[in-house]
Amino acid sequence: MKIYDRPGFPNPARIRIVLAEKGLDDQVEFVSVDLMAAEHKQPAFLAKNPAGIVPVLELDDGTLISESTAITEYLDNLDGHPSLTGRTPREKALIHMMQRRAESFVLDPVGLYFHHATPGLGAALQVYKSPDWSARKEMGLQEAQKVVQGYRYFDDLLQHRPFLAGDHFSMADITLFAGLMFADAAGIPAPEDHQTLQAWRRRVAALPSVRERSGQQFVQEDLTRMGF
């Protein structure tokens, strides 16, 4: 299998954690995609994923799977013992519900803030964004408010359960953790007074698969090179 990604960015980090959690690291060849040069917006990459986003999983038979949730489902079920996407209909429903909320309440609006209210990944990608800087900035600030509301929601939720979908670590937790990592890099970190959310984050960060594979240092290195 091959995975086209960029180490340390949020969606690639999600899949790298999944691989570590499932013990599949040695079965994958990683192909780095230069996001700052807009390689993911060029014809060669768009032939693999018309949406122009990473990661993309390429199977040995040439099948291409994009979207982090779909890739996670595939990897989690390879051994017939899913541990991250749910075993029963109830577990699956709850995990997918919380997974989507982690995306829509935190990860997605952080991404929109990053690309619209900041220099984002640099000049090469500007042609793919709104040319109206004032409109971009206003949109980004609105997304930042959604992130703040998302922090409050998850801080309240986690007062009643150890993980987002219940008693077990799942892909929903991976997604929220990646969103918080991205929010730190983008300059809108979760407040320290959200003590339950912060305690959950420390627990997740201590998991071997997360500690070894989240790649946060790569995010910061890329952003530093851009002068972010």
- Sequence letter at residue 99: Q
Q: Which residues contact 179 (CB under 8 A, 6 or more apart)?
A: 10, 102, 103, 106, 107, 110
Q: What is the pLDDT of residue 1?
A: 96
Provide the mean pLDDT of the chain. Answer: 88
- pLDDT for residue 8 is more than 60: yes
The pLDDT confidence band at residue 123, using thresholds 50, 70 and 90, is: low
User: Average pLDDT, stretch 80-106?
Assistant: 97
Q: What is the pLDDT of residue 136?
A: 60
The structure's pTM equals 0.89
Q: What is the pLDDT of residue 218?
A: 44
**Structural domain boundaries in the chain:** 2-77, 89-223
Domain 89-223, second-level architecture: Up-down Bundle (1.20)
| Three-state secondary structure of 21-49 | HHCCHHHCEEEECCCCCCHHHCHHHHCCC
* R_g of the chain, CA atoms, integer Å: 17
CATH number for the domain whose boundaries are 2-77:
3.40.30.10
Q: Which residue has the tokens 């999983």?
A: 57
Please state, for a pLDDT cut of 90, what percent of the chain lies above it. 71
